C-alpha cells in the first residue's frame, strides 16, 4: 500500500530537483521512492556487514601486511 506524505523544502531546491528528475525522465515522486528504499536498505547493509565481521573476527592473517602488499592486485 502506498501512503502519501507531505515534505517541505526550500523552493529553489525543489525547482532544481524537479528539473534534474525531468532530465532523468522521472518524477520527483519516483526519485524520492528510490531514495527512501536506499536509505532504509543502507541500515540493513550496515547491520549485515557488522554481523559478518563479527563472525569472521576469529580469523587472523598471522602478520601485518605492508601498504604495498595490501595494494597489490
pTM score of the predicted model: 0.57
**8 A C-beta contact, residue 21 and residue 31:** yes
pLDDT at 40: 84
pLDDT at 29: 94
Close Cβ partners of 32 (under 8 Å, ≥ 6 residues apart): 7
pLDDT at 61: 81
Give the DSSP per-residue string, 6-42: -----HHHHHHHHHHHHHTT--HHHHHHHHHHHHHHH
- How high is the mean pLDDT in each 10-residue block of the chain (73 residues)? 92 96 96 90 82 90 88 84
Domain definitions of the chain by residue range = 14-55
Amino acid at each position: 500500500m502506498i501512503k502519501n506524505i507531505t515534505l517541505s523544502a526550500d523552493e529553489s531546491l525543489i525547482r532544481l530537483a524537479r528539473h534534474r528528475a525531468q532530465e532523468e525522465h522521472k518524477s520527483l515522486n519516483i526519485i524520492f521512492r528510490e531514495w527512501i528504499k536506499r536509505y532504509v536498505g543502507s541500515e540493513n547493509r550496515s547491520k549485515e556487514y557488522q554481523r559478518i565481521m563479527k563472525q569472521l573476527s576469529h580469523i587472523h592473517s598471522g602478520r601485518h601486511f605492508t601498504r604495498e602488499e595490501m595494494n597489490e592486485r
